[in-house]
Amino acid sequence: MWPTAATHPAGRVIAALAELRRIAQGHYDAYAQAAPTVPPAAAPAFLPLALVPLYLKRLERFGNQPFQMVDVPQWRRQWVLWRAARRIP
């Protein structure tokens, strides 16, 4: 009898990482709802959070390859941060 994806160690790793991505998305969504209440003086401290959706999307794309190195090009990260910084009042 062959192990199923749910009982195979790699399948469990993939499922655990999917759950972690779901939790991270939930925390990001909570931040996004609270973001308008952040004082303008503190807003720059939250700029790195603009990268979260970018990384979560990239991790989702490689979800079935849990040991694949996942990164976002530097120019893309800078572009996302620049756009987010322009939205700070």
Q: Does some domain include residue 2?
A: no
Q: Which residue segment(s) compose the domain that 41 sits in?
A: 9-86
Residue-wise pLDDT for 37-82, tens only, equals: 999 999 999 999 999 999 999 999 988 888 888 899 999 999 999 9
Q: Does some domain include residue 62?
A: yes
Residue 4 near residue 11, CB atoms below 8 Å: yes
Enter the pTM of the model: 0.81
The pLDDT value given to residue 7 = 63
Q: Does some domain include residue 4?
A: no
Bin 82: left if φ > 0, else alpha if -120 < ψ < 50, else beta: alpha
Instruction: Provide the pLDDT confidence category of residue 1 given band limits of 50, 70 and 90.
Output: very low
Q: Does some domain include residue 28?
A: yes
Q: Angle at which helices 9-34 and 52-61 pack, to 10 degrees? A: 160
Instruction: Provide the pLDDT confidence category of residue 6 given band limits of 50, 70 and 90.
Output: low
Domain tally, the chain = 1
pLDDT(8) > 80? no
